[in-house]
Chain A
Amino acid sequence: MLKITDLHATADDKPILQGLDLEVNAGEVHAIMGPNGSGKSTLAHILAGRDGYVVTQGEVMFKGHSLLDLDIEQRAHNGIFLAMQYPVELPGVNNLTFLRESLNSVRKANGESELDAVSFMKLVREKAQLVELPDKLLKRDVNSGFSGGEKKRNEILQMALLEPALAILDETDSGLDIDALRVVAQGVNALRSPQRAMIVVTHYQRLLEYIEPDYVHVLANGKIVRSGDKSLALELEQKGYNWLLEEAAA
């Protein structure tokens, strides 16, 4: 589904990614771990098409086509979804209006009919149960005055509505207490499917107790320095990142 080859990227002329390779197939969950500043969030943002990064080398193929040529919204239409570390507040924009606009934009781009208000409400209520998002938050402005946990649940709700082929979860565990983390992880797990791939970016092993990955990769200095199964995450939990960094340097 996704094949990243020798990806180099800079931000403000500073090299961030320096030869990253990654292949993700449908049905797989990949965790990307690594110390702060290793380029984890940059990778997530580049896949979603955020401005401010320059790809200087390498390619990213998604469903057999080059991803980097596409606009941000085209990527969403093609099935890329980024659950953000810091979901943006949109004061004055009603959450339901936003969710419906988003879903219908994606449906329209894929040649499906737009959902009318009644069918949409039915669908959104059903999906909101998945992340235990109360009705009142659907009626509020997007993320405005939401707690950290509510924002993350709203992200997973969007994912549930858009049913992306590839979901990228950027530090979804940050700022969550244990109860919120459990709810969010439940939502994510319910969305695992043989057709869907996920990339879970996280600093801590904690999240992976709830969302069990098929593969774990360690990103350091802009490239993947070690890949393994979920036992690698446990090893990192015990030993930290330094031993890997030293190994990589050697």
Chain B
Amino acid sequence: MSTQQTQRDWFNDIVQQNAGLLSSAGPPWLSRTREQARQAITGIPLPDRKQETWRYADLGKLYQQHYYHQQGQLDTLADDAVQKWIYARGASHRLVFANGHFVPGMSHIDTLPSNVTLGSLHDMLKTEPDRVSAVLSQFDADSADVFSELNRAFINDGLFVHVPENTVIDKPIEVVYLNIADQQNLLCQPRSLVILEANAQARLVERNVGSGRSSYFFNGVIGLSLAANARLQHYRLQHEGRNAHHLSRVSLRQQDASEYSGVNISTGGAWSRTEINARFDGPHAVCELDGLYSVGEQQYTDFHLDVRHSLPHCRSRENFKGIVYGNGRAVFDGRILVEKDAQKTDAQLSNSNLLLSQNGEVDTKPQLEIHADDVKCSHGTTVGKIDPGQLFYLRSRGIREQQARKMICLGFAEQVLSHIDDAAVHDFVHAQIAELLDQAAVVL
């Protein structure tokens, strides 16, 4: 096990070895914020398994390797790892980030309503740095840790979306983070920003893919800001390569009566962790967080959700389900905080897990903390095996045992997937989960 000092050195080494990659050109505020982050990395407390939120997360393998950013933009990258696109070309606004950099040659942005900005952060930093600065500062209050500082120290590229008032983007925005390390271990740290002004609507599909052989560390941060009555559907599909480390932070700000619906699918990576922080800045807002993770042999997956109700009349849901097989390990830490003034809050929190093997492990911690007295809140968590009654029912109808088990697991998954309000995405994920279950059949 690495000591605190060798861990600190690991971060410092990454900072030093990658420092040359950032051009000194660029707005002064950017150099300043990167420098602040570099300074923070030398002193900020490191994740420690004595801390509750890092209790189950073993970073040992991450610290064993050095990681390097891709130098310069790529023209293209073999897209074998993508395997299949969710949408036909032209049916979405497609943005591909290969090894952390936007690749125009692989992307396809269709005609957009006037005044919509959709493109890469890298381009925006060149053309309209002040706008980026203003948007970034909306998320200044986010609590920082060493990984978010590492991302900040290298702010360079990512998705940038700005949808003006009363504007609807009718085609989905499809973002693919394609990660393929050829020679050395790769570090990908996109910083993405999505701003929906009042009454704006959009659908964002983010997908992480990587080749199975590649060793890389994805450390992405995305900030989402929804003004009054804005609506965002956000589908996040993590199927990184099986040697990857994946850490992503989602920061959500919602004003009056805005509606956010996020469905998080996590199936890939050797080690993966997603943190979602939601804050309400206005009443009557709705935040729905659904998620499905499947975790198998030599995999670890971890979700940390933190929804804070500080204002009245908001509604939130955390509905996460997990399928665990082989020696897979899953962690769910879901928190909903209802502060004193958040009367008439409606909050539901649930996590259920299908544990299909002897050696799998689930650590689940639903936390519903209520300080207001006029609220409607519920929470529940389960870890169980396939119900023998359901299995008998299907088999008694002639369905073979293996197939029956698969149907029950898919039905379990469907209770999350049904929240994906897009047939192309739903069917894509459904097929992916079915395929995973077929592969897992030997260990079921």
**Residue positions of A touching B, CB distance < 8 A:** 48-51, 71-73, 75-77, 81-82, 84, 87-88, 90-93, 97-98, 101-103, 105-106, 109, 141, 158, 162
Contact = CB atoms under 8 A, between A and B. Distances in A.
Nearest to A93: B411
A87 to B, nearest CB: 7
A84 B397 contact: no
A101 B390 contact: no
Nearest to B401: A73
A75 B395 CA distance: 9
A91 B390 CA distance: 10
Contacts of A82: 396
Q: Which of B392, B410, B413 counts the most A-chain CB atoms under 10 A from its CB? A: B392
B82 interface: no
Contact of B411 (A71, A73, A91): A91
Interface residues of B, number: 25
B395 A71 contact: yes
B414 A93 contact: yes
Given A48-B396, A101-B403, 20 more contacts: A49-B396, A50-B396, A71-B395, A71-B401, A76-B396, A82-B396, A87-B393, A88-B387, A88-B389, A90-B390, A91-B411, A93-B408, A97-B407, A98-B394, A98-B397, A101-B407, A102-B397, A105-B399, A105-B403, A141-B411
Q: Which of B395, B404, B414 counts the most A-chain CB atoms under 10 A from its CB? A: B395
B398 interface: yes
Contacts of B388: 51
Contact of B398 (A51, A90, A162): A162
A73 B398 contact: yes
Nearest to B388: A51
Contacts of A97: 407
B408 A72 contact: no
A121 B389 CA distance: 27
23 contacts: A49-B396, A72-B392, A73-B398, A76-B397, A76-B398, A77-B398, A84-B393, A90-B390, A90-B393, A90-B408, A90-B411, A91-B412, A92-B411, A92-B418, A93-B410, A98-B397, A98-B407, A101-B399, A102-B394, A102-B397, A105-B397, A162-B397, A162-B398
B400 interface: yes
B415 interface: yes
A93 B393 contact: no
A76 B399 CA distance: 9
Q: Which of B397, B403, B408, B412 counts the most A-chain CB atoms under 10 A from its CB? A: B397
Contact of B399 (A48, A88, A102): A102
Interface in B182-227: none
Nearest to A89: B390
